[in-house]
Structure 1
């Protein structure tokens, strides 16, 4: 550790990097009853801590090595650090990036002066290609994590933490991909304040350091998930493994949903949007608090980066409430008869409905896919399930069902025979508890609901698609009823999307 501490103390990272703030998570701290802080590495010039290690490696190149130029392989953050550092020092930089790299990172590397080569569908393929180019053209390979100078550069995060928080610290949670950041921080923190626990956090679908420690050596994973692309590393480095095995107190793994919840936590507290790998450490911190494994004292998470494609946020928003156990997804079987919806919603009570999908099917039972907002997590979910089952309804918990969350929730529906009297309407509901029940109570049992699709998207008004069987003689009465409900509506029965995908041909 002494050698690494010396390297960290003499690092040149501040020629290009910033000392980032350590900020309290006030809202999350109050909610969880702990003192929680985040280190804002997302505020670096390249929106990631990677600038530290990249520059500390490149600045140590000899004149002859600088003349040859540098090359690296990266999913984006290390690439930006290499490009910025090399450009500042007047050195050619070639960057090999997987073809799956978010466009925002590719464009950023080019903007910073790097020559981008897109190759392979993951980091390991890109790294192999970069090694081949280095051998053919004589470039100096700048490793993203398994290099003493890179590790020492990342270790300056630990140096800053010790200066910024001299008060007691229970644990520091660090995201782990290849292990450079965790190895660097642990080297400094354990030397200076060995009582502080340093805990690595990995995604369940890319837990390469956990696998290496279990095997006693770096081992390749069969496959890695790409949601947290900044830590999607198939095999950790030899040097980072050596340090992490010796210095890390634990490794926590988390799900993609838990990462999404942590992204939301950071936004709620700081109005900042982080990339999945950037919120990884906070997700692990939350997991330890919830399982009772978090030590006493302040808890610090490294927010490692903010390089996320904007369109990724659709997925994040969809999954965040599930990740923080604030939403239950249930498949419920109710009697296929008028009034069943109303009775079901009354059982739910004042809880907010976040999603409600249904399509009529012949038979005596109706299957609905429903989301319910939770105030008390899994305990409340189990109470709801017990309540519904106690009233004779069949319930299947879909909250952790990946197929249901990703696909089936959007596929409830289809064409149904014998629905010649079906009319389809789009309603605008105020987003408040009781609005759905008010709508259902406004319709009496004379009309059967045949289709229902609703999803809360966080706006003031929800938009709902409703199908109702309205025989011709009762239509005037039906329209009088929906006018009395008072919600804005649009008749979509002639909409081509409905007619093509949800309606069977019928006589008009």
Structure 2
């Protein structure tokens, strides 16, 4: 298997449109981690992503008759731009089916590169089904974003460049994983020529389809996929890609949204470039690996795989980066409702900087404050801060509480004493006209909405928390009603942050 892929990689035609990207040092991150961290700058490709390699190589392998038919794919991201540019260069008509929820910046980028854009459906699966329909009806040739040997070989040229460019010791390559095309190509080439080098995949913990497949020994379909790193939001790893990965990928590490935001900041600090959430996974994986292994003096390369980030999303990234770096703690602290309490709390905090402070009168006896405090992972960890404060006050650590980070910190305003039988759910809404009406219509006015908070951070989806007044006898009916709406949701009724500030 490896030999056939290596031959395909060596014969891949990618450099008509793709460029050989450099490997750059990350000096600040290297010094902090005590290891040499290098970045393979795929964000410097003409479409700001490695996807141009696989798309062009696949087109180059088609016959003249196939290219004359035109090509089609379904994509809301980097593959769409890569295929559009590749097709324009080769004079091939390309149709890209994109979900209607795709941000306008990405739609414009695909059209600007000469492809015909068809907006269909609210999710990728609907766009994919329609693209397959166009194959049947119009005889177009489908170009898969990752699950095709020629696409895998095109992506594998990244590994060919790494081994040619880097001549010293190399301990591991950390690769972002979505459907698996990039890591399959890299693993095939590296393990054939340098089996001593570890190939480590990195996935968001909300879309770990390769990790789940390796654990099960077969491809599995995730029941739910997180969308923050939309470039790798894939429910099932590819068939061809899994056959390579199951044998030649050393391990898969998963990282949180906060850890991705911190990695975006790390890359910016060292390169002054801003990558997308999927693009920073390699760096996030290196940091987690070093923390777990306690290793020093190693040489590790992260694939900086893309820079197609919406500007508006940077608000969310900046908000979460310090938490991901373990330099901020979010705490719920209960203090007596009496003169001098704030002063006593500030004395307990000491010289630490307060990043956020929210307060609302609760009762005559006590006050609940929502506070952000600067910490340091080594010199002043949040665990030590919490332990110190707990000597004087009841403290709840909310740093890892998604409801608190996404919504509560923006909603602190007091309890609703007259609201009874309230249940609370957190949703991800698709960003499209009619999303709220669809929610209300399918809910059918069955239960009163007692609370509603919405946030968007430049993504194709919005964050929503909803309170419903549901009598105890009706509680079992709620999940069925919410399933019919079709939006991802989480039950937050027992979340302590809600109980403290809003319940």
Matched residue, 1:458: none
Change (3 A) 1:72 1:205: same
1:375-430 deviation per Cα after TM superposition (whole angstroms, max 9, x unaligned): 2359621111111111x20000000001000000111125999xxxxxxxxxxxxx
For 2:216, the equivalent position in structure 1 comes to 215
For residues 233 and 290 of structure 1, what CA distance do their matches in structure 2 show?
A: 27
| Cα distance change of structure 1 residues 416 and 92 upon mapping to structure 2, 3 Å threshold | closer
Structure 1 position 310, deviation (Å): 0.7
Q: Does 2:353 match 1:352?
A: yes
Q: Please state if 1:385 is matched with 2:395.
A: no
Name which of structure 1's ranges 259-268 and 114-123 shifts more when overlaid on structure 2: 114-123
Provide the residue aligned with 2:440 in structure 1. none
* CA offset digits 1:310-336 (Å, max 9, x no partner): 111111111111111111000001111
Of 113-122 and 345-354, the range deviating more from structure 2: 113-122
Q: Tell me how large the CA RMSD over aligned residues is.
A: 1.6
Q: Residues 115 and 21 from structure 1, CA distance in 2 versus in 1: closer, same or farther, beyond 3 angstroms?
A: same
Counterparts of 1:243-282 in structure 2, within 5 Å, are 243-282=244-283
Aligned to 2:177: 176
In structure 1, distance between residues paired with 2:224 and 2:416: 41
Q: Is the 8 A contact 1:53 1:150 kept in 2?
A: yes
**Residue 398 (structure 1) aligns with:** 398
Supply the distance in 1 between the matched residues of 2:337 and 2:169 (Cα, whole angstroms). 60
Q: What aligned pairs does 1:116-195 form with structure 2 within 5 A after superposition?
A: 116-195=117-196
| Contact map agreement 1:119 1:125 (CA 8 A) in 2 | yes
Once residues 260 and 128 of structure 2 are traced to their aligned partners in structure 1, the CA distance between those partners, rounded to angstroms, is: 26
SS in 1 for 2:234: coil
- The 3 A distance-change label for structure 1 pair 97 and 416 is closer
**Aligned partners of 2:251 and 2:194: how far apart in 1?**
17
Cα offset for 1:357?
Answer: 0.6
Alpha-carbon distance between aligned partners in 2 of 1:299 and 1:125, rounded to the nearest angstrom:
39
- 1:67-466 aligned at under 5 Å gives the runs 67-292=68-293, 297-376=298-377, 380-390=381-391, 392-414=392-414
Q: Deviations over 1:453-476 (max 9, x none)?
A: xxxxxxxxxxxxxxxxxxxxxxxx
**Helix, strand or coil at the partner of 1:67:** helix
Go from structure 1 to structure 2 and tell me whether the alpha carbon gap of 1:54 and 1:295 turns closer, same or farther (over 3 Å shift): farther
Cα shift at 1:347: 1.4
SS in 1 for 2:315: helix
Instruction: Tell me how far 1:108 sits from its aligned partner.
Output: 0.6
Give me the whole-angstrom Cα distance separating, in 2, the residues matched to 1:130 and 1:295. 48
Q: Which has the larger Rg?
A: 1
How far apart in 1 are the matches of 2:295 and 2:190? 18
Q: Which runs of 5+ in 2 are unaligned?
A: 418-503
* Equivalent residue number for residue 494 of structure 1: none
Which residue of structure 1 aligns with residue 58 of structure 2? 57
Residues 33, 296 of structure 2: 8 Å contact kept: no
- Asked whether the 8 Å contact 1:285–1:294 carries over to 2, the reply is no
Distance 2:14 2:257 in 1: 32
Q: Is the 8 A contact 2:13 2:60 kept in 1?
A: yes
CA contact (8 A) 2:76 2:124 kept: yes
Gaps of 5+ in 1: 418-508
Q: Secondary structure at the match of 1:311?
A: helix
Is residue 254–residue 283 contact of structure 1 (8 Å, CA) maintained in 2?
Answer: yes
Q: Is the 8 A contact 2:159 2:185 kept in 1?
A: yes
Confirm or deny: 8 A CA contact 2:362 2:414 kept in the other structure. Answer: no
Distance in 2, matches of 1:219 and 1:98, equals 24
Q: Take 1:254 and 1:9, find their aligned partners in 2: how far apart are those partners?
A: 33
Match of 1:496 in 2: none
> For each residue in 1:323-366, what CA deviation from the matched residue of structure 2 results, as whole angstroms up to 9, or x when unmatched?
11111000001111122111211211111111111012232111
Does the C-alpha gap of structure 1 residues 329 and 415 become closer, same or farther in structure 2, counting only changes over 3 Å? closer
* Cα pair distance change 1:138/1:378, threshold 3 Å: farther
Paired residue secondary structure (2:390)? helix
Q: Which residue of 2 aligns with 1:11?
A: 12
1: CA distance, partners of 2:264 / 2:183:
20
TM-score (norm 2): 0.80
Separation of aligned partners in 1, 2:379 and 2:399: 10
Instruction: Say which is worse superposed, 116-125 or 268-277, in terms of deviation.
Output: 116-125
Name the SS for the 2:348 alignment partner: helix
Cα distance, 1:39 vs. partner? 0.7
Over residues 117-168 of structure 1, what are the superposed CA-to-partner deviations in whole Å (9 max), with x where a residue is unaligned? 2223433332222111111110000000011110000000000100111211
In 2, Cα distance between the equivalents of 1:121 and 1:169?
A: 43
Q: Give the 3-state SS of the residue equivalent to 1:13 in structure 2.
A: coil
- Whole-Å separation in 2 of the counterparts to 1:120 and 1:39: 35
> Is the counterpart of residue 39 in structure 1 residue 28 in structure 2?
no
Superposed CA deviations along residues 226-269 of structure 1, whole A, max 9, x for unmatched, are 11010011111111000011110000111111111100111111
Aligned length: 416
Tell me by how many angstroms 1:70 deviates: 0.3
Distance 2:239 2:143 in 1: 15
